[in-house]
């Protein structure tokens, strides 16, 4: 299927999702709709083991499409609908049962930062900047920013960034835990290397369960997460890949996983 605002390419069981909505890759309602369709498609594609999301051109994503806000002013339901669509996209990305890496190639502001925070891992080009400037518009972050930022950094950092609308550099984003790595050059290449390191030598059965256990458990009581961990561990005893992995370890050889 072809899309107007998003391009998808494939390499070695990796999917590269490139947002291309000139001039600043704003998340219009149509762009969000396309991204949700792509996320659903990739989540169900058994040949895709990991996903990378990046921006085309100079921007990662500059934010929501403010032009759509103007005619919606005075209509609470339209505001609710916009927030619901943005949150649904971010939830769907976060809940994918395969690793999702944000390769933040440039400014990630507002909805762009919220989209990046929904990804499981964030890499940033050295020129990338991050911010939630919604208070400058008389609004607040509404695609999950008021919730995910404090979970990834701290209450102090989240409130400061949101209340001041200040941008932070890639290096500062790394120092507060928002970004895992700052990449000097070849950002997408590095993202592909990292994605392959997660999936190339592992069974997709274990990767998907590990991602789900960590992501869901992060937001739940410890006891609930531990119960899921037990269930997944037991289920894996029924798989051919677990049998192969244990036998390979015992025989001091590399496993040959069949992803089943």
Model confidence at 260, pLDDT cuts 50, 70, 90, reads: confident
233-252: b (≥16 Cβ within 10 Å) or e: eeebeebebbebbeeeeeee
241 close to 259: Cβ distance less than 8 angstroms: yes
Give percent of the chain above pLDDT 90.
98
* DSSP letters spanning 213-238: HHHHHHTS-HHHHHHHHHHHHHHHTT
Domain of residue 215, residue span: 204-250
- Asked if 193 and 221 sit in the same domain, the reply is no
Same domain, 50 and 154: yes
Based on the fold, state whether residues 157 and 210 are members of the same structural domain: no
Whether residue 102 lies inside any domain: the answer is: yes
Q: Which residues lie across from 130 on neighbouring strands?
A: 108, 168
Residues 154 and 189 in one domain: yes
**190 and 171 assigned to the same domain:** yes
Domain contains 255: no
Which residues neighbour 127 within 8 Å (Cβ) at sequence distance 6 or greater? 106, 170
Q: What are the residues facing 14 on neighbouring strands?
A: 11, 50
pLDDT in tens, 11-31: 999 999 999 999 999 999 999
Query: How many structural domains comprise the chain?
Result: 2
121-125 sheet: strands from edge to edge: 6-11, 14-19, 50-55, 100-104, 121-125, 181-183
Together in a domain, 55 and 180: yes
> Which of 177, 199, 221 lies at the terminal end of a domain, its last residue?
199
> Does residue 134 have an active-site annotation?
yes
Q: 47 and 176: one domain? A: yes
The pLDDT of residue 70: 94
Residue 196 tokens, joined: 């392959």
Residues 175 and 160 in one domain: yes
The answer on 228 and 129 residing in a single domain is no
Exactly one of 68, 114, 181, 244 is catalytic; name it: 114
pLDDT for res 14: 98
Read off the pLDDT of residues 141-181 as tens digits, 9 standing for 90 and up: 999 999 999 999 999 999 999 999 999 999 999 999 999 99
**What CATH number has the domain bearing residue 221?**
1.10.12
Asked if residue 259 has pLDDT above 90, the reply is no
* Residues 221, 218: Cα–Cα separation, whole Å: 8
Q: Is 186 helix (H, G, I), strand (E, B) or coil?
A: coil
Residue 232 and residue 175 share a domain:
no
Which backbone phi and psi does 200 adopt, to 5 degrees? Answer: -65, -40
Pairwise CA distance, residues 259 & 239, whole Å: 9
Q: Are residues 128 and 31 in the same domain?
A: yes
| pLDDT at residue 248, rounded to an integer | 95
As a whole number of angstroms, the distance between CA 194 and CA 100 comes to 11
Report the relative pairing of strands 129-131 and 168-169 from DSSP bridges. Answer: antiparallel
**Confidence (pLDDT) at 2:** 80
Predicted pLDDT of residue 82: 96
Q: Convert the pLDDT of each residue in 102-143 to its tens digit.
A: 999 999 999 999 999 999 999 999 999 999 999 999 999 999
State pLDDT tens for residues 41-100: 999 999 999 999 999 999 999 999 999 999 999 999 999 999 999 999 999 999 999 999
Residue 29 to residues 81, 138, 147, Cα–Cα distance (Å)? 10, 20, 22
């Amino acid at each position: 299927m072809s899309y107007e605002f998003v391009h998808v390419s494939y390499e070695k069981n990796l999917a590269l999702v490139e947002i291309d909505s000139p001039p600043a890759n704003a998340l219009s309602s149509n762009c969000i709709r396309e991204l949700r369709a792509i996320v659903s498609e990739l989540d169900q594609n058994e040949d895709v083991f990991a996903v990378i999301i990046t921006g085309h051109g100079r921007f990662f994503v500059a934010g929501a499409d403010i032009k759509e806000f103007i005619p919606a002013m005075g209509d609470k339901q339209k505001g609710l609908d916009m927030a619901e669509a943005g949150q649904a996209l971010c939830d769907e990305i976060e809940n994918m049962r395969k690793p999702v890496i944000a390769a933040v190639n440039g400014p990630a502001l507002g909805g762009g930062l919220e989209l990046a925070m929904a990804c499981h891992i964030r890499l940033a080009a050295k020129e990338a900047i991050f911010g939630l400037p919604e208070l400058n518009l008389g609004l607040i972050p509404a695609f999950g920013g008021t919730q995910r930022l404090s979970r990834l950094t701290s209450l102090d950092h989240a409130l400061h960034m949101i209340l001041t609308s200040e941008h932070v550099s890639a290096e500062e984003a790394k120092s507060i835990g928002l970004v895992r790595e700052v990449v000097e050059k070849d950002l997408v290449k590095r993202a592909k290397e990292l994605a392959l390191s997660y999936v190339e030598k592992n069974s997709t059965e274990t990767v998907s369960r590990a991602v789900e256990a960590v992501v869901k458990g992060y937001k739940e009581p410890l006891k609930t997460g531990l119960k899921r961990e037990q269930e997944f561990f037991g289920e894996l005893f029924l798989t051919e890949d677990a049998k192969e992995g244990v036998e390979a370890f015992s025989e001091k050889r590399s496993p040959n996983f069949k992803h089943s």
